[in-house]
């Protein structure tokens, strides 16, 4: 009863706070976007290889081709405020739908590679817009709301992967692609209906400050006047003394994340574990990563960033220690503990860094700084596979674990300390 009254108060007597409808819409779109763009296409590798005779490396390159568009976030991120965040979301989803409907007519490798790049453009158009929309509706609970949206991609991959297999086994991969296009279109229609009329809090006369607290910007945006940043939101208005190490930290975090996942089957095989056991540990990693996202988002809203950073780093390096023991003793129990802890640390680190890029530089330039984060994180993910493979080939299982530890030392240092003052103070502390 108390919770219901609180919800009514938050929305002026009109029901639950409209911002949660926005979060539902963004989570739904994020789930289908990432599920189709990643899991569905990974599953398409089998029928594509069978029909066209493409090798594993060629289909793997198709999966990775989408991430080549990551640097576009540096341009599209700052453009969010000028073009409109919801316009970019709808454009990105429309690109995904059009590409899926076009896939049945693909007959060459070059055409499929081009389709993947186009899907990447659509994804990069949408991804920077989502956090900006969340920031419009949430201040005190920004990280929690962002964690819900961020974690939706995991649910999308869990459900859309098996759905894709079922569709192409029954209808062929070409019809499956078109049916997935219909699914994305239906999801977009549902999202539009859910947020209809609520393009921004101002459009519904909702006082976000009364619900979520006053804007936490500390009057300046990364050592520059906030008004200038608001008039011309771009990376020119941030403190690059902080931005350079933070960008490097985001890159290293992405690298460690993909290096571990890409080499996990080979690494676990070297420990003497069966493929079935390895698959189980990868599922554990995904589950604890999801838990890390949610819990870190909750912590970021309640405690200073350094607290969340220390918890994330402790989980990661405890996981590294467990894997080291597993390498030395070929212990399945230690490997299980290590993968679980690493999942929590790496998953929690993602939402932590989204929050840090917002608080360090302020809401006024968040579209631009999130684009910077996303670009660096994706570049790290692109490099993670080759770097992880090289480390394992040259130095074996022990060297691979050491390489992960070295890579994550950078996010650990700059997660706890960054040069220059933060543009936003923690809402739970005095300004």
pTM across the whole model? 0.83
Helices (H), 84-172: 85-102, 109-126, 129-137, 142-171
Look at 190-199, 203-212, 359-368, 422-431 and tell me which has the smallest mean pLDDT. Answer: 422-431
In tens, the pLDDT along 261-275 reads 878 888 988 999 887
**What pLDDT shows up at residue 410?**
97
Residue 324, pLDDT above cutoff 50:
yes
User: How far, in Å, are 1, 8, 83, 96, 209 from residue 14 at the CA level?
Assistant: 16, 6, 30, 35, 17
> How far apart are the C-alpha atoms of 247 and 236, rounded to whole Å?
15
- Number of H-type helices and E-type strands within the chain: 17, 2
Please indicate whether residue 338 or residue 65 has the higher confidence score (pLDDT). 338
**What pLDDT shows up at residue 200?**
75
Residue 400, pLDDT above cutoff 70:
yes
Which pair of tokens denotes residue 290?
């999801």
Which pair of tokens denotes residue 316?
């990661």
Do residues 33 and 123 make contact, with C-beta atoms less than 8 angstroms apart?
yes
The torsion angles phi and psi of 105, rounded to 5 degrees, stand at -95, 5
User: How far, in Å, are 179, 234, 351, 353 from residue 133 at the CA level?
Assistant: 29, 17, 16, 17
In tens, the pLDDT along 72-107 reads 888 888 788 788 899 999 999 999 999 999 999 998
**What pLDDT shows up at residue 213?**
62
The torsion angles phi and psi of 199, rounded to 5 degrees, stand at -60, -30
Domains of the chain and any CATH numbers: 17-197 (1.20.1250.20), 220-416 (1.20.1250.20)
């Amino acid at each position: 009863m108390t919770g219901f009254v609180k919800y009514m108060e938050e929305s002026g007597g009109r029901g639950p706070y409209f911002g949660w409808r926005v979060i539902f819409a963004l989570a739904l779109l994020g789930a289908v976007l990432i599920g189709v763009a990643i899991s569905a296409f990974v599953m398409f590798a089998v029928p594509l290889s069978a029909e066209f005779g493409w090798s594993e490396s060629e289909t793997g390159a198709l999966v990775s081709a989408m991430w080549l568009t990551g640097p576009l976030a540096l341009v599209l991120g700052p453009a969010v405020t000028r073009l409109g965040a919801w316009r970019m979301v709808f454009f990105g989803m429309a690109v995904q739908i059009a590409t899926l409907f076009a896939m049945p007519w693909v007959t060459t490798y070059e055409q499929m590679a081009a389709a993947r790049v186009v899907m990447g453009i659509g994804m990069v158009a949408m991804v920077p817009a989502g956090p900006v929309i969340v920031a419009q509706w949430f201040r005190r609970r920004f990280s929690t709301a962002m964690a819900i949206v961020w974690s939706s991609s995991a649910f999308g991959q869990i459900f859309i992967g098996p759905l894709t297999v079922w569709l192409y086994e029954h209808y062929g991969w070409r019809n499956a692609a078109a049916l997935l296009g219909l699914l994305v279109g239906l999801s977009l229609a549902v999202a539009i209906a859910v947020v209809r009329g609520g393009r921004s809090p101002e459009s519904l006369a909702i006082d976000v400050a009364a619900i979520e607290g006053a804007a936490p910007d500390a009057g300046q945006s990364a050592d520059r006047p906030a008004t200038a940043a608001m008039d011309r939101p771009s990376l020119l208005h941030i403190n690059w003394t902080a931005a350079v190490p933070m960008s490097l930290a985001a890159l290293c975090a992405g690298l460690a994340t993909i290096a571990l996942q890409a080499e996990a089957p080979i690494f676990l095989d070297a420990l003497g574990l069966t493929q079935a056991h390895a698959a189980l540990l990868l599922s554990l990693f995904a589950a604890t990563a999801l838990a890390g996202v949610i819990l870190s988002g909750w912590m970021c809203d309640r405690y200073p960033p350094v607290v969340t950073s220390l918890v994330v780093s402790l989980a990661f390096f405890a996981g590294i220690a467990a894997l080291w023991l597993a390498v030395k003793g070929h212990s399945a129990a230690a490997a299980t503990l290590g993968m679980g802890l690493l999942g929590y640390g790496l998953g929690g680190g993602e939402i932590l860094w989204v929050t840090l890029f917002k608080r360090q530089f302020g809401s006024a330039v968040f579209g631009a700084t999130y684009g910077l984060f996303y670009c660096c994180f994706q570049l790290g993910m692109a490099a993670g596979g080759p770097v992880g493979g090289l480390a394992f080939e040259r130095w074996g299982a022990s060297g691979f674990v050491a390489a992960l530890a070295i890579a994550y030392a950078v996010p650990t240092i700059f997660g706890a300390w960054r040069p220059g003052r933060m543009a936003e103070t923690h809402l739970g502390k005095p300004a």
